[in-house]
C-alpha cells in the first residue's frame, strides 16, 4: 500500500488531481469540495512517534488541521479538535478516524474569536484528555480583497482576531498546563514572505504568527516547552474555496510552485508530526517551510 514513506516523484504526485472553480459559503467544508483534498485517511501510516501524547488542534476538522489530527492519532496521540459549529459534519468525520485509530477524540465547537472560548478549549482538553502536551494553533481566516479601499474594518478585525488574538489567548491558557517535553506549533504561510496583493491583511497576520511564536519559543524554552512554526505554501483546503482565493484562480494557483501543483494536506501533516515528536528535541523557534519549493528568506 502507498503511504507517506513510499518512494515517489513529487513532481508527478497527484497528477490526476484537477482543482475546479468552486465557491463555498462560510468557512467551507471538506465534504463539499468538488475536488476532494487528500487528508491522508487512506495513506498515513503511524509508527508510534507520539504514543501517549495529548493534543489540541485548532481548525482540526478539515484541511491541514484535519490531516494533522489523523496523523497524530495514528502516531498514538489522543486528540481534541476545535472548529466552528457549521463544520460539524467535517468534525464528525475526523473524530471517527481518530477513534478508528484507537485513540480518544474530543470535539470542541465554538468561535475562537472569543477569548473565553479559547480558554474553554484548553480547559476542556485538559479535563477530557487528562492533560495537554501538544498544541497546534492552526485555525485561520483568509478572504481575498483586491483593493485596500474595499477591505472593511470588520473583515480586517475578524482576520486579526482569528489569526492573532486566538493564537495569543490559546497559547496563554495552554502554557501553564504543559509539562516539560511539550510542544506548541503554529501555522504561518508563504504569504508571510511573499504576500499576494489581494491578501495583504492575511499575510500580515501570518508574519505576526512567525514573530510571536519565535519570541515565545525563547521565553518558554527553559521550561522544556518547544515552540515552532510550519509555513505552508498553496495547499488545497476548504479555506481556498470559501473566499481564500478568487474562484477563477483556483485551477492555476498551484502552478506557481516549482513542482507546478497544489500541495495536499497529507503532505503537511508529517511536518507537524516531526515538530511534535522528540525527534526534533533540538529544534526551537524554527519556521519549517512546506511550500513545494517557493524560495523564502
Name the residue with cell 464528525: 92
pLDDT for the residue 20: 81
pLDDT tens profile 217-232: 999 999 999 999 999 9
Query: Catalytic residue numbers?
Result: 202
pTM for the model stands at: 0.96
The conformation of residue 241, written as its DSSP 8-state character, comes to I
Nearest residue to 147 via CA among 197, 203, 205: 197
Domains, the chain, with CATH or none: 46-231+268-290 (3.40.50.720)
* Residues of the chain below pLDDT 50: none
| Strand order across the 226-232 sheet | 105-109, 78-83, 54-58, 134-137, 183-187, 226-232, 287-290
pLDDT tens profile 231-260: 999 999 988 888 888 888 888 888 889 999
The grid cell for 233 is 505554501
Amino acid at each position: 500500500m502507498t503511504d507517506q514513506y513510499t518512494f515517489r516523484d513529487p513532481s508527478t504526485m497527484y497528477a490526476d488531481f484537477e482543482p475546479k472553480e468552486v465557491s463555498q459559503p462560510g468557512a467551507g467544508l471538506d465534504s463539499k469540495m468538488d475536488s476532494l483534498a487528500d487528508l491522508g485517511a487512506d495513506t498515513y501510516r503511524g509508527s508510534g512517534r507520539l504514543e501517549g501524547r495529548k493534543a489540541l488542534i485548532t481548525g482540526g476538522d478539515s484541511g491541514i488541521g484535519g490531516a494533522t489530527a489523523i496523523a497524530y492519532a495514528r502516531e498514538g496521540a489522543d486528540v481534541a479538535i476545535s472548529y466552528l459549529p457549521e463544520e460539524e459534519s467535517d468534525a464528525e468525520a475526523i473524530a471517527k478516524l481518530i477513534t478508528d485509530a484507537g485513540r480518544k477524540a474530543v470535539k470542541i465547537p465554538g468561535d475562537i474569536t472569543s477569548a473565553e472560548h479559547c480558554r474553554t478549549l484548553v480547559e476542556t482538553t485538559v479535563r477530557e484528555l487528562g492533560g495537554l502536551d501538544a498544541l497546534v494553533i492552526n485555525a485561520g481566516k483568509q478572504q481575498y480583497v483586491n483593493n485596500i479601499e474595499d477591505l472593511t474594518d470588520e473583515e480586517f478585525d475578524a482576520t486579526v482576531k482569528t489569526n492573532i488574538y486566538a493564537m495569543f489567548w490559546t497559547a496563554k491558557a495552554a502554557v501553564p498546563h504543559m509539562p516539560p517535553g511539550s510542544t506548541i506549533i503554529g501555522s504561518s504561510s508563504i504569504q508571510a514572505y511573499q504576500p499576494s496583493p489581494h491578501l495583504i491583511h492575511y499575510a500580515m497576520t501570518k508574519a505576526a504568527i512567525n514573530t510571536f511564536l519565535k519570541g515565545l519559543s525563547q521565553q518558554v524554552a527553559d521550561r522544556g516547552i518547544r515552540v515552532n512554526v510550519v509555513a505552508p505554501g498553496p495547499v488545497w483546503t476548504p479555506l481556498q474555496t470559501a473566499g481564500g482565493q478568487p474562484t477563477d484562480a483556483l485551477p492555476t494557483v498551484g502552478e506557481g510552485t516549482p513542482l507546478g501543483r497544489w500541495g495536499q494536506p497529507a503532505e503537511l501533516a508529517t511536518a507537524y508530526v516531526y515538530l511534535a515528536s522528540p525527534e526534533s528535541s533540538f529544534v526551537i523557534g524554527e519556521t519549517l517551510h512546506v511550500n513545494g519549493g517557493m524560495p523564502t528568506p
